[in-house]
């Protein structure tokens, strides 16, 4: 399940035992100052910038003090100042904390790249977005026009990070049309005859037929799988209840349910809980793992600098990861919650899928990444599922009218 635009500290700054903080450094004209993170509601009307340039500005050579220099978006013009220095009041995100208290919370899970949603969603199906044989040119940020994929109008270009030795140069609008031919997990799954689906909302006005990473993958968008393997996000419920859930699924929510800042919606945690509860109360519970991630940091403060840089613009900043399963590791036989301090990245999820179904390797960041396999204990008896409390019910989402709005524009 792929949510939107939240750093680890933004959602779990005060979670007991996790690597969070309630203060941070902020650059000012007179030098760095310590800023207290403010407890705030989940709804945030500022949409902070979160592209590659902003990432390097926030990072500031590892000092992590540039977040106040972000732009605040259309509703918050000018520099963001102290606004990104915040964490969500835990009572606003009870389903996320309930999941973390029972299952696995990863507190050192990093984006593949310091960039926004377009490349992040590519990384979650492929582990990377390099486009040349020598792997020195990688996509960054987002295409010059919407939709972000094969449905884009003629003349649409992508942007690149080009590696020359140890130097990375950003080339805006110098990349190919966003209809790509690199391998993804789809190729490995198809080769083994393993079923998969990408569930995403209808979005005919902004990003193609649906907000969907595979809209940018030529063989899917222009082949029969666009009809058979692409589904509306709410159809996940009927697939669960009808016993037709595919082996591997990606689930992208509609805009209001995505946790994306800039909108007056608080339904994201309940959306996640509704899917987890549907799995937990079904026959799939003992054979299914649900992994919840946020695709980028959204411009929100995080205190932990990325542990290294590669020639593909990463690692990016930390985002949360939750792992829910009957076999999720426990901190003790009597306490369900477990905090994984292992260093993960998006390629860690790709690697886990590859290893579980013996798919081989794509040869991207899946080679170096640590698998999320250590989030599980398959020697333990399957755990009983406890319903995740949520403000909005499954029925609410099944009857919710589509927003027809892109989940992100950066």
Identify the pLDDT of residue 206. 53
Strands 196-200 and 230-232: parallel
* pTM given for the model: 0.97
pLDDT at 102: 97
pLDDT for the residue 263: 86
CB 88 within 8 A of CB 40: yes
Architecture of domain 91-127+178-398: 3-Layer(aba) Sandwich (3.40)
- Which pLDDT score, from 0 to 100, does residue 301 have? 98
* C-alpha–C-alpha distance, residues 23 and 118, integer Å: 30
Domain boundaries, the chain: 91-127+178-398
Q: Which sign, positive or negative, has the C-alpha torsion 186, 189, 190, 196?
A: negative
Q: Please state, in angstroms and rounded to a whole number, the distance separating the CA atoms of residues 319 and 173.
A: 27
Convert the pLDDT of each residue in 95-149 to its tens digit: 999 999 999 999 999 999 999 999 999 999 999 999 999 999 999 999 998 889 9
User: Taking Cα atoms as reference points, which of 216, 365, 344, 357 lies closest to residue 291?
Assistant: 344
d(CA 270, CA 293): 15
Residue 336: closest CA among 299, 388, 274: 388
Tokens of 201: 């909302």
Which residues in the chain land under pLDDT 50?
A: none
Q: Catalogue the E-assigned strands of 89-221.
A: 104-106, 109-110, 137-140, 159-164, 167-171, 196-200
Distance CA 42, CA 92 (A): 6
């Amino acid at each position: 399940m792929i949510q939107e635009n939240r750093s680890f500290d933004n959602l779990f700054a005060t979670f007991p035992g996790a690597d969070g903080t309630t203060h941070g450094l902020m650059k000012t004209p007179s030098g760095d100052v310590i800023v207290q993170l403010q407890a705030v509601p989940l709804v945030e009307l500022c949409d902070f910038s979160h592209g590659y340039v902003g990432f390097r500005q926030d990072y500031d050579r590892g000092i992590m003090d540039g977040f106040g220099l972000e732009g605040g978006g259309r509703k918050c013009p000018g520099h963001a100042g102290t606004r990104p220095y915040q964490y969500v009041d835990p009572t606003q995100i009870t389903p996320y904390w309930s999941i973390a208290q029972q299952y696995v919370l990863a507190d050192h899970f990093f984006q593949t790249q310091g960039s926004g949603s377009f490349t992040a969603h590519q990384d979650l199906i492929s582990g990377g977005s390099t486009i040349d044989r020598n792997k020195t040119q990688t996509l960054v940020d987002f295409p010059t026009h919407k939709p972000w994929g094969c449905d884009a109008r003629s003349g649409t270009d992508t942007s690149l990070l080009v590696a020359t030795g140890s130097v990375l140069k950003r080339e805006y609008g110098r990349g190919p049309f966003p209809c790509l031919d690199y391998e993804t997990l789809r190729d490995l799954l198809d080769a083994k005859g393993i079923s998969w689906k990408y569930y995403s909302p209808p979005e005919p006005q902004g990003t193609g037929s649906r907000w969907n990473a595979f809209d940018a993958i030529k063989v899917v968008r222009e082949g029969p799988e666009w009809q058979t393997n692409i589904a509306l996000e709410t159809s996940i419920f009927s697939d669960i209840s009808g016993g037709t859930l595919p082996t591997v699924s990606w689930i992208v929510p509609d805009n209001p349910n995505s946790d994306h800042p800039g909108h007056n919606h608080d339904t994201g945690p309940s959306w996640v809980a509704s899917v987890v509860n549907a799995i937990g109360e079904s026959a799939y519970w003992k054979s299914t793992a649900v992994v919840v991630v946020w695709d980028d940091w959204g411009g929100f403060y995080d205190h932990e600098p990325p542990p290294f840089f590669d020639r593909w613009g990463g690692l990016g900043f930390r985002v949360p990861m939750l792992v829910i399963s009957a076999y999720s590791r426990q901190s003790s036989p009597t306490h369900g919650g477990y905090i994984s301090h292992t260093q993960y990245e998006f390629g860690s999820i790709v690697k886990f899928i590859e290893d579980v179904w013996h798919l081989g390797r794509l040869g991207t960041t899946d080679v170096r990444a640590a698998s999320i396999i250590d989030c599980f204990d398959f020697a333990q008896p399957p755990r009983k599922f406890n319903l995740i409390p949520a403000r909005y019910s499954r029925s609410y989402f099944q009857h919710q009218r589509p927003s027809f709005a892109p989940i992100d524009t950066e």
